[in-house]
Amino acid sequence: MTRAAAEPAKTEVAPVDAIDLRKEFEAVDIASVLAQLDKDLIGLVPVKTRLREIASLLLIERIRQKMALATTFPTLHMSFTGNPGTGKTTVALRMAGILHRLGFVRRGHVISVTRDDLVGQYIGHTAPKTKEILKKAMGGVLFIDEAYYLYRPENERDYGQEAIEILLQIMESQREDLVVILAGYGDRMEKFFQSNPGFRSRIAHHIDFPDYSDTELLAIAELMLDEQNYRFAPDARDAFVKYIAARKTQPLFSNARSIRNALDRIRLRQANRLVSTLDRILTSDDVMSIEAGDVLASRVFSGEATLEKRART
């Protein structure tokens, strides 16, 4: 306390030298935010690790503030890269809520935009358009999906560059007001960053979304079904494990998105099966449960057969 006495702080609260970390931790309620995330999102270890780090940083910054030490607002702009269906958009939409709860953004709304919303169609159209979007996103999160479309190297007179410049300027000067999240497929984002090195350096968090493993995909499927009040019958579960393995070998596999589409089709088949025999009493159990037949009727299994046939001929 001697230092505080020597140079009195301008705030009413005198800086303190020791702080109960646990009490601070509980005050910010980080634990519940992270627990919620763990529950809702399956896999995605790198993402969760990074969020935990950001949350810890916030906690330490708060404590530093109380101790009257120098605090700088952390750069929170992020870039999400990964294959289709790995949860980039889902996490980005959720991120605003998390950052809001952790106190990094003031309002916690998300403005989700693509190239169309930022880039104008004629000279002088882009700047006001981009600025308008940025103003709307202030105090929240600006989520730019498929960000690599902003830059079109094949067209020299493309207005995307102008939007990028404005974006970079605001990302630098108003870090406290706005968090920008870029998302896109890995290889194309890499190309985008190569042609816009300013972007790469202004983004603090480059998070790569890994592909899901088979068990994670199964867990995702069960979570999705649970949300819609469905469930697998035991043999249907085994069939779905086989389905995942088969679907993965086929082209255009897009992780969780493929799973969601598969579940939608399985629900269709289940409904069809139920409706085909009209003269009976349905229990809620019947309506909720998905049988192995619903899964096994999938084109993926017959597709496997045709592929083999094609390989033979």
Partner 1 sequence: MRVTQGCFSFLPDLTDAQITAQVQYCLDKGWAVNIEFTDDPHPRNTYWDMWGLPMFDLRDAAGIMKELAECRRVYGDRYIRISGFDSSHGWESVRISFIVNRPREEPGFRLDRQESNGRNIRYSTHAYAAGRPEGERYGGS
Applying CB under 8 A, which residues contact partner 1?
106-107, 109, 128, 132, 134-136, 138-140, 174, 177-178
Instruction: Give me the sign of the Cα torsion angle 58, 62, 64, 68.
Output: positive
Q: Which two tokens stand for residue 33?
A: 């935010």
Nearer to partner 1, 140 or 160 (CB): 140
Compute the least distance from the CB of residue 136 to partner 1, in Å. Answer: 5
Compute the least distance from the CB of residue 109 to partner 1, in Å. Answer: 5
Compute the least distance from the CB of residue 59 to partner 1, in Å. Answer: 24
DSSP 75: P
Q: Where are the beta strands (DSSP E) in the chain?
A: 78-82, 110-113, 140-144, 178-184, 205-209, 231-232, 289-290
Q: DSSP 3-state assignment of 78? A: strand
Compute the least distance from the CB of residue 54 to partner 1, in Å. Answer: 21
DSSP class per residue in 110-175? EEEE-HHHH--SSTTTHHHHHHHHHHHHTTEEEEETTGGGG--TT-TT-THHHHHHHHHHHHHHTT
Compute the least distance from the CB of residue 165 to partner 1, in Å. Answer: 16
The rounded distance, in Å, linking the Cα atoms of 143 and 146 is 10
Q: DSSP 3-state assignment of 27? A: helix
The rounded distance, in Å, linking the Cα atoms of 105 and 113 is 18
| Per-residue CA distances from 115 to 49, 97, 133 (Å) | 30, 24, 12
The rounded distance, in Å, linking the Cα atoms of 310 and 291 is 30
Nearer to partner 1, 85 or 140 (CB): 140
Compute the least distance from the CB of residue 110 to partner 1, in Å. Answer: 10
Nearer to partner 1, 177 or 222 (CB): 177
